[in-house]
Amino acid sequence: MLPFARVTIIGLGLIGSSVARAVQAQMPTVRLTGHDASPEVRERARAIGFCDDVTDTAGAAVVDADLVIFCVPVGAMAAAAAEIADDLPADAIVSDVGSSKESVLTALRGALPDATIIPAHPVAGTENSGPDAGFATLFQGRWCIVTPPEGADPTATERVAEFWRRLGADVETMDPRHHDRVLAVTSHLPHLIAYTIVGTASDMEEVTQSEVIKFSAGGFRDFTRIAASDPTMWRDVFLNNKDAVLEMLQRFSEDLTALQRAIRWGDGDTLFDLFTRTRAIRRSIIEQGQDDAAPDFGRAH
């Protein structure tokens, strides 16, 4: 039995359109309704055809929904939820795909105080955005972290979890605050570092932009891929998960200072021990199936 018969997706960019395409592929009998705040995106979504219906208002999109998924930047969550408050069915489950969970839960509860809210975070994405960027296999073999609030209905939580399993994701359940600390390390801090190092390279007067691009080695290339991620989404992530990000950034700064000291004083043992330990982490990621060991990250040459 399908966990939901009628699904509404609010926000039809990379993640929203990928959810829709995945539902079409894995649960073709589910009726899909979509809405996006942008008229251009709505028109493009209709042309592509990954929803059964694309409505001009958010309220019209949710009138008969079993599940409503907000696929909007976390900073826009409260406003988007307020738009459906008058039309949301009493028995509908509300979820999202945001990268920070405590702030999202607060926003959704504030706008929809009587709704059943089960937040979730599919840990998947690309540096591309927009309705054309989505694809049905984005969530295959990737984690989706479901973060029910304390006292949440277990049946509602399991229905959301099963929805993501049907899309190919591996599901983990986690407390919202713990999620935010984990993701601050594994996702948010790496993005902050990537934005910083690419910005630093751009700002250096003694290295022209053309030389940075011309002589980009693999490491810098990988940073630029991360730093090309959607600026609105990541601005909102940092502002909405700032406590956890600042905590991890402080720890990173202390570790970086220790590394700087080792280089200054020629402490090769410290450097070698660190690099050996981090190499082992890379191998464990491959062993757990989160990446593969293809040479040069599988790049075609």
244, 106: one domain: no
pLDDT of residue 126: 79
Q: Output the pLDDT for position 295.
A: 58
Within-domain flag for 101: yes
* Domain end point (choices 143, 159, 174): 174
- If DSSP codes are grouped into helix, strand and coil, which group holds residue 250? helix
What angle (nearest 5°) sits at the alpha carbon of residue 210, between those of residues 207 and 216? 80
Which helix (H) or strand (E) segment holds residue 41: the answer is: helix 39-48
Looking at the fold, whether 28 and 107 belong to one and the same domain comes out as yes
**156 in the same domain as 21:** yes
Task: Please tell me the predicted confidence (pLDDT) of residue 234.
Answer: 86
Last residue of a domain, one of 133, 149, 174: 174
CA-based end-to-end distance of the chain: 46
My answer on whether 24 and 164 are in the same domain is: yes
Let me know whether 161 and 197 are in one domain.
no
What is the pLDDT at residue 114? 95
Q: Order of strands, edge to edge, in the sheet holding 170-173? A: 120-122, 143-146, 170-173
How many structural domains compose the chain?
Answer: 2
Give the model's pLDDT for residue 200.
81
Let me know if residue 301 belongs to a domain. Answer: no
Please give the residue range of the domain that contains residue 82: 6-174
pLDDT in 10s for each residue of the chain, 301 residues: 899 999 999 999 999 999 999 999 999 999 999 999 999 999 999 999 999 999 999 999 999 999 999 999 999 999 999 999 999 999 999 999 999 999 999 999 999 999 999 999 999 887 788 999 999 999 999 999 999 999 999 999 999 999 999 999 999 999 999 999 998 988 889 889 988 988 887 777 566 666 776 776 667 878 888 888 888 888 988 998 899 999 999 999 999 999 999 999 999 999 999 999 888 877 776 677 666 666 555 556 5
Identify the pLDDT of residue 201: 78
- Given the structure tokens 């075609």, which residue do they identify? 300
Assigned domain for 119 exists? yes
Q: What pLDDT is stored for residue 208 in this prediction?
A: 60
Instruction: Give the distance between the most distant pair of CA atoms in the chain.
Output: 67
| CATH code where residue 51 lies | 3.40.50.720
Give me the CATH number covering residue 252: 1.10.3660.10
